[in-house]
């Protein structure tokens, strides 16, 4: 028996793998996704499937082109998760090519042109969302009122095919603005935020998600449940979600208290838009967030602050995707500046002072 | 007692149940023992026996070398058949000078120092006790094998007020200390009291991980003998048994980087070391055997065995029913910080806490995939390093960059490699880089030495030349001076003559 091993320890390893991590994240997303698909019916289901299939197809093509192990990488779940997150952030009835183009930007440009899994600087799904929003503002702000499967308003499979293929435009009566969108539009017409907010869905309804919005972003409660699952499994730590939501909440609460007619209240900021999805599933993306706990706190707080600034002061009603991409750019800098303290050393790196002085013999 | 927060660490699959309920069994002396002369940190012992000579059990066969070193004794009686290079339990497969003894089967003791059986306070000075511990060849039995007498001598260099006894046993599989604490608690406590007396410390803390409740109970009962001893349960979290981390957990004292725990007034000893000290003082017996955990799914009968030092791993495994016919990896020590055994002919030494036969399923070494920057290695690192970043730098060949962010503060615990979902051998990178950096350092030091020698030689040459020149100049000056004096003298004579003539 040969016992010579040409390797160093340890000789025991965790059962955790990259694939297992990705699959747990997908599982945590499932309740909110299922709710979104039910809420917006067949067009949403179709767009969701198209986006995921496109993401996997682009991933396969890129892996072949770059000479990487196709089977292992394709099955690691990372492309599936990217496609999934992108789909969840799209308007539920967007035409098919929005999903395909989004996957192309996410997988080909944002991921593989930056070096593939683990090497991308920017969150692929958010890059795709930002690119689509800037390039196709009409399609990306085409929101619809909830039309749950089984209800009278829900489109049939055939109608859904017509909408998603772009053959028939979405009927005017189905469209409905999001909460954040309504506030922005009304404010630009001189209507005070407070007045508009009274007409919006109440916080309870925002938490449940029965409102117009992106395919998988509306149910704050189900997203929170998924996030808590990831926290419990220690797949993510509390640092990014808590600092992100806390910063957003504090800025919203303080500004609302000072200028209620100009700034929306805290529940609106936390429960609508991409806040919950972003805090638990997007900002926590391993690859594009800092590795140290202190860095993660700063990163989360930065996204929370930028999101509020864009929403409250900028031109767009929602700003989380921009905030994530902007903070992604700072990650290398944060990683350099926020390392943990080394054992036995001060923060400045010098060896700690000895407490016991060497003995002096008399 | 409140504990202090220690950063990092990992929760492992401990698999201690394979052997934790097997009482310690004594292995009969094998036909032959191969006792390496270096089983400790420091310089090797020097052989003091000759080939063909009969040695008694416990007889000194290797005398402690220069500087930090330790004595080595015969673990059984018999004839020394060779003093030769023999495979050592080191992954390099390099050999070591080893005394081979063919056992005569009598196990006859050599003459031992007289036991000190009196109760506390002991009728011996701390110095005498230290000398006894040094003579008995006792080293740290937790695995580091640092000569214990050197640690007990720390009181002469530092003001030591705390003795911490390490019963954490944080490595998976290993249960030898657990069994020892359950079965020989009073002997351990006696050894602890002897060490505390030798160190003249104020507080004694025995720290045991929470996954050994029976050991904690046995030790608490035995510790009633001395009220200054506290038995503390520490969280089960690898690497709790690292001396610096254990000390931080139980006292809140953080050892400065690159320094010993004595710098913060504490000495840490292992429980098995305490027992060895008791044996050396109470019975006069040197360290010639130790308890080894034989475990892993590859071995038929996992056990805790008291093994005569120098017994081959092959004999030990045979004693434990042999191996299952599945491909296994043999490990010396625990699976986290232990090393592969180069051969089954390697002997059991003072630092061998375990011999593990691990199957591929237990090792669970998946194929390496790209780093996804999950940061788990950063949270797991008990040294507060950023393994992901250091590994990147080392991969790029930037060893100085890795050094700048602390690669040399790595304690090689392997927590980062364990936790990595991409199965990147991070710890391997750091041991490679630190080995290389040390070699570069040595090289740089040698270069410096050569440079300073050359400089000294040049200076000396210059000085000599200068001196020669000065001497030549001095000689010349002297010559000139003599000549001048002569001339002056002649002139004076002439002048005086003239004067005289004038006066006349």
- DSSP states of B225-293: G-TTEEEEEE---BTTTSHHHHHHHHH-PPPPTTS-GGGGTEEEEEHHHHHHHHHHHHT---S-EEEEE
Q: Is B370 helix (H, G, I), strand (E, B) or coil?
A: coil
What is the pLDDT, as a whole number, of residue A204? 87
Question: CA A114, CA A106: separation in Å to the nearest integer?
Answer: 11
What is the pLDDT, as a whole number, of residue B144? 83
- CB of A66 within 8 Å of a chain B CB? The answer is no
What percent of chain B is modeled with pLDDT above 70? 97
Mutate to test the interface with A, among B362, B369, B382, B416 (most CBs of A within 10 A): B369
Tokens 């303080």 locate to: A254
What is the pLDDT, as a whole number, of residue A7? 65
Question: CA B76, CA B33: separation in Å to the nearest integer?
Answer: 8
Which of B459-465's residues contact partners 24+ apart within 8 Å by CB, and which partners?
Answer: none
Contacts with A, B 126-165, CB within 8 Å: 155-161
Residues 6+ apart with CB under 8 A from B71: B45, B60, B62, B63, B64, B134, B135, B136, B137, B286
Closest residue of chain B to A4, computed from CA coordinates: B342
- CB of B68 within 8 Å of a chain A CB? The answer is no
User: Mean pLDDT across the stretch B439-454?
Assistant: 90
From residue A85, how far is each of A15, A18, A325, B105 by CA, in Å? 26, 17, 15, 73
CB contact under 8 A, B258 and A357: no
Q: Is B84 helix (H, G, I), strand (E, B) or coil?
A: strand
Peptide bond into B121 cis (omega under 30): yes
pLDDT band at B85 (very low <50, low <70, confident <90, very high): very high
What is the pLDDT, as a whole number, of residue B92? 74
pLDDT band at A88 (very low <50, low <70, confident <90, very high): very high
Question: CA B128, CA B139: separation in Å to the nearest integer?
Answer: 17
Question: CA A182, CA B205: separation in Å to the nearest integer?
Answer: 66
- CB of A10 within 8 Å of a chain B CB? The answer is yes
What is the pLDDT, as a whole number, of residue A174? 86
Q: Give B378's contacts in chain A (Cβ within 8 Å).
A: 291-293, 340
User: Mean pLDDT across the stretch B270-274?
Assistant: 97
How is residue B285 written in tokens? 């017996």
Taking only the tens place, the pLDDT of each residue in B397-412 is 999 999 999 999 999 9
- CB of A172 within 8 Å of a chain B CB? The answer is no
Question: CA A148, CA A41: separation in Å to the nearest integer?
Answer: 6
Q: Is the pLDDT of residue B482 over 90?
A: no
From residue B117, how far is each of A28, B83, B122, B277 by CA, in Å? 66, 36, 9, 13
How is residue A34 written in tokens? 């299922």
CB contact under 8 A, A10 and B417: yes
Contact B324, B310 (CB under 8 A): no
pLDDT band at B208 (very low <50, low <70, confident <90, very high): very high
What is the pLDDT, as a whole number, of residue A359? 54
pLDDT band at B493 (very low <50, low <70, confident <90, very high): low
Q: Give B358's contacts in chain A (Cβ within 8 Å).
A: 11-12
Q: Is the pLDDT of residue B495 over 50?
A: yes
Question: CA A141, CA A261: separation in Å to the nearest integer?
Answer: 25
Taking only the tens place, the pLDDT of each residue in B133-190 is 999 999 999 888 999 999 888 888 899 999 999 999 999 999 999 999 999 999 999 9
Tokens 């892993």 locate to: B296
CB contact under 8 A, B378 and A291: yes
> Directed axis angle between helix B176-183 and helix B185-199, to 10°?
90
User: Mean pLDDT across the stretch B22-35?
Assistant: 95
Backbone phi and psi for residue B88, each to the nearest 5 degrees, phi listed first: -110, 160
The alpha helices in B101-202, defined as continuous H runs, are 126-135, 148-152, 176-183, 185-199
Mutate to test the interface with B, among A10, A240, A337, A353 (most CBs of B within 10 A): A10
Burial classification of residue A147, based on how many CB atoms lie within 10 Å of its CB (0-12 exposed, 13-18 middle, 19 or more buried) = buried
Taking only the tens place, the pLDDT of each residue in B277-297 is 999 999 999 999 999 999 999
Taking only the tens place, the pLDDT of each residue in B344-392 is 999 999 999 999 999 998 998 888 899 999 999 999 999 999 999 999 9
What is the maximal distance between C-alpha atoms in chain B? 132
Question: CA B282, CA A65: separation in Å to the nearest integer?
Answer: 74
Q: What is the ipTM of this complex?
A: 0.88
User: B311, B313, B315, B364: which is closest to B335 by C-alpha?
Assistant: B364
How is residue B360 written in tokens? 């591929």
From residue B121, how far is each of B126, B198, B217, B276, B279 by CA, in Å? 11, 11, 26, 19, 17
pLDDT band at A258 (very low <50, low <70, confident <90, very high): very high
- CB of A359 within 8 Å of a chain B CB? The answer is yes
- B473 to chain A, minimum CA–CA distance in Å? 52
What is the pLDDT, as a whole number, of residue B502? 46
Contacts with A, B 338-367, CB within 8 Å: 338-344, 356, 358, 362-367
CB pairs under 8 A between A and B: 206
Q: Which helix (H) or strand (E) holds A211?
A: none
- The DSSP bridge pattern shows strands B78-87 and B95-103 to be antiparallel
What is the pLDDT, as a whole number, of residue A358? 55
Residue B102, strand partner residues: B32, B79
Look up the pTM and report it.
0.87
Taking only the tens place, the pLDDT of each residue in A189-225 is 889 988 898 888 888 888 999 999 999 999 999 999 9
Residues 6+ apart with CB under 8 A from B469: none
Q: Which helix (H) or strand (E) holds A239?
A: helix A239-258
What percent of chain B is modeled with pLDDT above 90? 75
- Least CB-CB distance to B369: which of A8, A76, A340? A76
Exposure letters A41-53 (e unless 16+ CB within 10 A, then b): bbbbbbbbbbbbe
The alpha helices in B329-425, defined as continuous H runs, are 360-363, 376-380, 387-395, 399-404, 415-419
What is the pLDDT, as a whole number, of residue A63? 96
Tokens 């990683």 locate to: A335
Q: Which helix (H) or strand (E) holds B309?
A: none
Question: CA A348, CA B17: separation in Å to the nearest integer?
Answer: 44
pLDDT band at A53 (very low <50, low <70, confident <90, very high): very high
Q: Give A10's contacts in chain B (Cβ within 8 Å).
A: 335-337, 414, 417-418, 427
Contact B100, B82 (CB under 8 A): yes
Taking only the tens place, the pLDDT of each residue in A327-362 is 999 999 999 999 999 999 998 888 888 765 555 444
Q: Give B366's contacts in chain A (Cβ within 8 Å).
A: 13, 17
How is residue A54 written in tokens? 């496109």
Mutate to test the interface with A, among B346, B378, B415 (most CBs of A within 10 A): B378
Contact B197, B132 (CB under 8 A): no
Contacts with A, B 73-132, CB within 8 Å: 91, 93
Contact B210, B178 (CB under 8 A): no
Mutate to test the interface with B, among A8, A9, A79 (most CBs of B within 10 A): A9
- Supply the mean pLDDT for chain B: 91
CB contact under 8 A, A291 and B254: no
Least confident among A165-169, A295-299, B71-75: A165-169
Closest residue of chain B to A346, computed from CA coordinates: B256
Q: Which helix (H) or strand (E) holds A327?
A: helix A320-337
User: A84, A88, A125, A77: which is closest to A105 by C-alpha?
Assistant: A125
């Amino acid at each position: 028996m040969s016992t010579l091993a040409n390797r160093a320890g340890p000789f025991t390893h965790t059962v955790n793998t990259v694939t297992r991590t990705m699959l747990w994240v997908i599982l945590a997303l499932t309740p909110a996704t299922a709710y979104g698909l039910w809420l917006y019916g067949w067009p949403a289901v179709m767009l969701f499937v198209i986006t995921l299939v496109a993401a996997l197809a682009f991933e396969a093509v890129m892996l072949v082109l770059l000479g990487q192990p196709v089977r292992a990488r394709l099955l690691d779940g990372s492309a599936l998760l990217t496609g999934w997150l992108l789909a969840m952030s799209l308007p539920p009835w967007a035409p098919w090519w929005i999903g395909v183009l989004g996957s192309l930007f996410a997988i080909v440009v944002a991921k593989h042109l930056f070096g593939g899994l683990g090497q991308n600087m920017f969150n692929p799904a958010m890059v795709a969302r930002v690119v689509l929003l800037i390039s196709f503002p009409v399609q990306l702000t085409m929101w619809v009122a909830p039309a749950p499967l089984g209800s009278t308003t829900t489109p049939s499979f055939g109608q859904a095919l017509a909408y998603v293929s772009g053959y028939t435009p979405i009927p005017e009566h189905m469209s409905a603005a999001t909460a954040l969108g309504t506030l922005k539009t009304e404010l630009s017409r001189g209507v005070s935020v407070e007045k508009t907010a009274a007409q919006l869905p109440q916080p309870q309804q925002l938490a449940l998600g029965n409102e117009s919005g992106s395919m998988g972003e509306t149910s704050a409660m189900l997203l929170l449940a998924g996030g808590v699952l990831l926290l419990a499994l220690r797949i993510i730590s509390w640092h990014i979600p808590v600092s992100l939501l806390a910063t957003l909440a504090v800025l919203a609460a303080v500004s609302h208290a000072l200028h209620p007619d100009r700034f929306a209240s805290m529940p609106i900021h936390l429960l609508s838009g991409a806040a919950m999805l972003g805090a638990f599933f997007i900002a926590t993306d391993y690859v594009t967030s800092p590795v140290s706990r202190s860095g993660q706190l700063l990163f989360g707080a930065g996204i929370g602050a930028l999101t509020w600034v864009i929403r409250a002061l900028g031109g767009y009603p929602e700003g989380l995707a921009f905030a994530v991409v902007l903070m992604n750019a700072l990650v290398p800098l944060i990683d350099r500046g926020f390392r943990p303290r080394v054992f036995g050393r001060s923060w400045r790196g010098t060896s700690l002072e000895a407490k016991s002085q060497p003995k002096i013999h008399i | 007692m409140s504990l202090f927060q220690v950063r990092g660490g990992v929760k492992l699959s401990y698999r201690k149940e394979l052997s934790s309920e097997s009482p310690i069994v004594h292995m009969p002396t094998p036909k032959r023992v191969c006792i390496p002369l270096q089983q400790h940190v420091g310089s090797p012992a020097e052989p003091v026996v000759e080939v063909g000579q009969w040695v008694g059990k416990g007889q000194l066969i290797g005398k402690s070398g220069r500087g930090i070193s330790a004595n080595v004794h015969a673990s059984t009686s018999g004839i020394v058949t060779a003093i030769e290079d023999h495979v050592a339990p080191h992954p390099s497969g390099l050999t070591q000078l080893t005394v081979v003894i063919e056992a005569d089967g009598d196990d006859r003791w050599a003459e031992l120092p007289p036991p000190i059986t009196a109760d506390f306070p002991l009728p011996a000075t701390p110095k005498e006790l230290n000398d006894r511990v040094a003579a008995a060849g006792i080293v740290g039995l937790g695995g580091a094998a640092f000569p214990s007498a050197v640690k007990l001598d720390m009181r002469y260099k530092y003001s030591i007020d705390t003795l911490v006894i390490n019963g954490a046993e944080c490595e998976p599989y290993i249960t030898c200390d657990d069994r020892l604490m359950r079965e020989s608690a009073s002997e351990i406590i006696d050894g602890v009291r002897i060490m505390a007396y030798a160190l003249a410390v104020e507080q004694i803390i025995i720290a045991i991980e929470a996954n050994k409740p029976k050991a904690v109970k046995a030790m608490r009962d035995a510790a009633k003998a001395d009220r200054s001893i506290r038995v503390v349960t520490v969280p089960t979290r690898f690497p709790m048994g690292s001396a610096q981390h254990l000390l931080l957990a139980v006292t809140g004292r953080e050892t400065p980087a690159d320094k010993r725990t004595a710098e913060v007034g504490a000495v840490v000893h292992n429980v098995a070391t305490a027992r060895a000290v008791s044996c050396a003082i109470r019975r006069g017996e040197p360290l010639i055997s130790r308890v080894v955990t034989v475990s892993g799914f590859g071995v038929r009968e996992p056990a805790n065995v008291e093994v005569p030092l120098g017994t081959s791993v092959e004999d030990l495994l045979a004693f434990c029913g042999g191996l299952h016919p599945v491909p296994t990896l043999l490990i010396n020590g625990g699976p986290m910080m232990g090393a592969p055994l180069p051969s089954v002919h390697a002997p059991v030494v003072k630092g061998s806490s375990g011999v593990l036969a691990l199957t591929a399923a237990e090792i669970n070494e998946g194929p390496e995939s790209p780093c996804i920057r999950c940061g788990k290695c950063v949270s797991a690192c008990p040294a507060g390093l950023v393994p992901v970043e250091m590994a990147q730098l080392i991969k790029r060949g930037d060893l100085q960059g890795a050094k700048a962010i602390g690669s040399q503060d790595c304690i090689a615990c392997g927590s980062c490699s364990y936790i990595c979902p991409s199965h990147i051998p991070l710890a391997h990178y750091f041991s490679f880089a630190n080995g290389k950096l040390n070699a570069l350092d040595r090289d740089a030091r040698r270069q410096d030495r050569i440079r300073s020698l050359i400089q000294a030689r040049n200076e000396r040459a210059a000085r000599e030349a200068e001196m020669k020149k000065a001497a030549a100049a001095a000689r010349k000056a002297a010559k000139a001076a003599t000549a001048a004096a002569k001339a002056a003298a002649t002139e004076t004579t002439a002048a005086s003559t003239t004067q005289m003539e004038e006066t006349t």
